[in-house]
Chain A
Amino acid sequence: MTALVNIHDLKKSFTQPEGGKLLVLDISEFQIAKGEQVAMIGQSGGGKTTLLHLIAGLLSPDQGSIQIDGIETNGLSEEGRDRFRAETIGYVFQTFNLLPAFTAIENVRLGMAFGSGKHQHARAGDLLARVGLQDRFNYRPGQLSVGQQQRVAIARSLAGRPKLLLADEPTANVDPSSADSVLELIRDTCHEEEVSLLTVTHDMQIASRFDRIEKLDEINQVDHTTASS
């Protein structure tokens, strides 16, 4: 199977307030195949979110290589990475991060607002309908339940037709009864859209449903007991 994401000798450290640098990630090899759904598990502060930010191009590595769909993202300018992210990567946040000024449909449209492709307003509606919110188009985030907000966030992450969806503990803030449906929604939609999925979680039960489970502690050569993200 062809790799969509190919990480090689990746290192990332942060400057500490008291001076000096703290190495957080040191990953020699990590791949995600096209269409594959991977669960990354690890303890809090283990560098999971940092890894997602590096893959999304929101952070630059100290060294190493991150190739996505054959593109070396580390070699792109910041503007190039932004454009690449808009067109290639979807992101679902733990806290949903919907913009409160915008309605549900507008939040979804934001997901396709910054790419170079045509704005497909109909797709925003289709996605909201697919996540069961066809009657909530014009609701603002504050008027939606937590579960509905996460559904909007999922729809938004897929709006730009990404090749890779990064989900950062997508069920952490959802009540247990909704967690399953949210997770299944993400997985099913990614499957339908042929989108590769990397979900980070610390919940083994959730991770068990994925094609592959990666333990960050095992691939990260940094002693996670001293690392922080």
Chain B
Amino acid sequence: MSLIHIAWRNFCHRALSSFLTTFSLALGVGLVVLVLSIYGVISEAFTRNASVGYNLVVGPKGSPLQLTLNSVFYLSQPIENLPYTEYMEFLPQDERASMVSRFGGDPKLAERDGRYAPYIAGGFAIPLALGDYFGEFRVVGTTPDFFTKLKHGPNVDEDFTFSQGRAFSNFSRESSYFEAVLGARVAKEMNVVLGEKFYPTHGDPSGQGHEQGFTIVGILDPTGTPNDRAAFVNLEGFYLMEGHAKPIERDPEENGEDLLDEAVNAEESNEEQSDTDAQNDSPTADAIATGSKSNGVPLVQNEAENSGSVADSTPDTIESQSSVEEHRVLSIPEREVTSILIRNGNIMFAPGMQNAINEGIRAQAAAPIGEINKLMNLVVGPLLTALLAITGITCAVAAVGILVSIYNSMNDRRRDIAIMRALGARRTTVTSIIIFESFQVALIGTIAGWLLAHTAIVLYSGKIEDQTGVQVGFFTTSNYEILVLPLVLGLALIAALLPAWAAYRTDVGSNLSA
């Protein structure tokens, strides 16, 4: 008969006491495993979502973490906005020219490549405009590029796919500029279907509702990213909602002068950062005036006629005229972006571009993964460490329970120990039996606690996936869980020392005669 078998018999003999001791330890271990799992889920969610196909986020000066949180995770409040010209600095000359032509603005903007365009080469820059809500979910104004150029998935190689419908277009005959695509969770929780209209609220979830609605033309498949929690609308439509245009005096008599002032202000800021010819960035009154006359306040019809890239509108300009002519796209000075998602064609250019942007006075560039790592290290990490410490104390209390349970049983077991000694058991043998008993409680408690925690995780796996996009299964473990068993066994060993010492010192003669 092995010592483990003897220890097991003793464990079973005091079934209630053993069960309660083991159960309390299981609860402690379960809490530790849950905290570790939550830490793993949070880490994975943040880290995975911080790398959804772009490497930099550009926004106004301020906290890079806040920029990351609001632009990548759609959390927190946007810092401020950047002029549209800042976004144009990431575009090559032909695209800038097309924008000046379509939207109206300083023609000088069309005469050069954007300052950061060479860094982008082969990559992309996608503008975001934030500030409105659909229910509790963020409304994100962006371009159709968002759905074609961004990737997601563990290897960041999966395209966005649609469970229903399609991506919104720049312009459509039916809905003008007001098409929207919903993330999977938004569609599910807001209980909306394709073809419905929704009306964003301004500023916060309970804010004033806009009069302009957006027609839902697509619902994304779940991606496991924050994009599941966003309602995407066409950037042009976003601009056209009341209160979204950057205010510019529009007295017809002085229209050109006002636009000039606005453009100069914007461009002067750029000029300070620019290493290109300063003259290129100094718009003239004539230029702005011309722009404003020909393009500054264009009708949709004009815009559609001028732009070959507005695919849906171009062939059907005549038919769409009646439905859209009440809308005009904003001129460049009236436009702002909250942030810009950047992917460098060559990742080697990213640090140089980040430095160049950060040396300027208006914008900053943040690397989402770096910011999330800082967040994890500075905020989430210590919080979880504190949680772990608390749950660790729970385990220590459970270990004290083991000590009390076994030590209290020693009074009843001195005779048993004396009998075993009389049968030839050495002091070290009876000591080992006590330690094995403690180990059994620790082992069973740890396994039970692990099973409890992972059962709970599995039961909530659907909710976890909905909330974080992280898929968890029964055997999804964090790296640290492997340390739980040795730590608990160590605690059990410490807890067993006192009763084991009592067993070691048990006097055979007096206890046999008792």
Contact = CB atoms under 8 A, between A and B. Distances in A.
A82 B425 contact: yes
B470 to A, nearest CB: 47
A150 to B, nearest CB: 14
A52 B383 CA distance: 65
Nearest to B416: A99
Interface stretch (A100-108, A125-133, A180-188, A193-201): A100-108
B426 interface: yes
Contacts of A89: 424
B424 A58 contact: no
Interface string B474-514: 00000000000000000000000000000000001100110
Contacts of A78: 426-427
Instruction: Give the size range of B's interface with the partner.
Output: 20 to 34
B1 A119 contact: yes
Contacts of B384: none
Nearest to A99: B416
B1 to A, nearest CB: 4
B13 A87 contact: no
Interface stretch (A62-70, A110-118, A211-219): A110-118
B440 to A, nearest CB: 13
Nearest to B3: A113
A222 B77 CA distance: 97
Interface string B414-444: 0110011111111111000000000000000
A42 to B, nearest CB: 16
B424 A85 contact: yes
B426 A79 contact: yes
Nearest to B12: A101
Nearest to A78: B427
A112 B420 CA distance: 11
Contacts of A53: 508-509, 512
Interface in A23-38: none
A49 interface: yes
B6 interface: yes
Q: How large is the interface on A (under 10, 10 to 19, 20 to 34, 35 or more residues)?
A: 20 to 34
B9 A91 contact: no
A56 B422 contact: yes
Given A97-B419, A110-B1, A160 B424 contact: yes
Interface in A149-166: 156, 160
A111 B423 contact: yes
Contacts of B415: 97
Contact of B1 (A59, A86, A106): A106
A109 interface: yes
Nearest to A156: B423
A83 interface: yes
Contacts of B424: 82-83, 85-87, 89, 114-115, 160
Given A101-B9, A101-B10, A82 B1 contact: no
A99 B12 contact: no
A112 B12 CA distance: 22
A56 B423 CA distance: 10
A7 to B, nearest CB: 18
Contacts of B425: 82, 86, 113-114
Contacts of A59: 509
Contacts of A86: 423-425
B423 A101 contact: no
A97 B421 CA distance: 12
Contacts of B512: 53, 58, 93, 97
B509 A101 contact: no
B434 to A, nearest CB: 14
Contacts of A119: 1
A127 to B, nearest CB: 14
A102 B423 contact: no
A109 B1 contact: yes
Contacts of B423: 85-86, 91, 110-111, 113-114, 156, 160
B10 A114 contact: no
B426 A58 contact: no
Interface string B1-41: 10000100110110000000000000000000000000000
Contacts of B421: 58, 82
Interface in B395-424: 415-416, 419-424
Among B13, B416, B420, B509, the most chain A Cβ lie within 10 Å of the Cβ of B509
B9 A102 contact: yes
B1 A83 contact: no
18 contacts: A58-B509, A58-B512, A78-B426, A79-B426, A79-B427, A82-B425, A85-B422, A86-B425, A93-B419, A93-B422, A101-B9, A102-B9, A106-B1, A110-B6, A110-B423, A114-B425, A156-B423, A160-B424
Interface of B: 1, 6, 9-10, 12-13, 415-416, 419-429, 508-509, 512-513
- Top-7 shortest CB links A-B: A86-B424, A101-B13, A114-B424, A82-B426, A113-B1, A109-B1, A101-B9
Given A86-B424, A101-B9, A113-B425, 11 more contacts: A58-B421, A82-B424, A86-B423, A97-B415, A100-B13, A106-B9, A110-B1, A110-B420, A114-B423, A115-B424, A160-B423
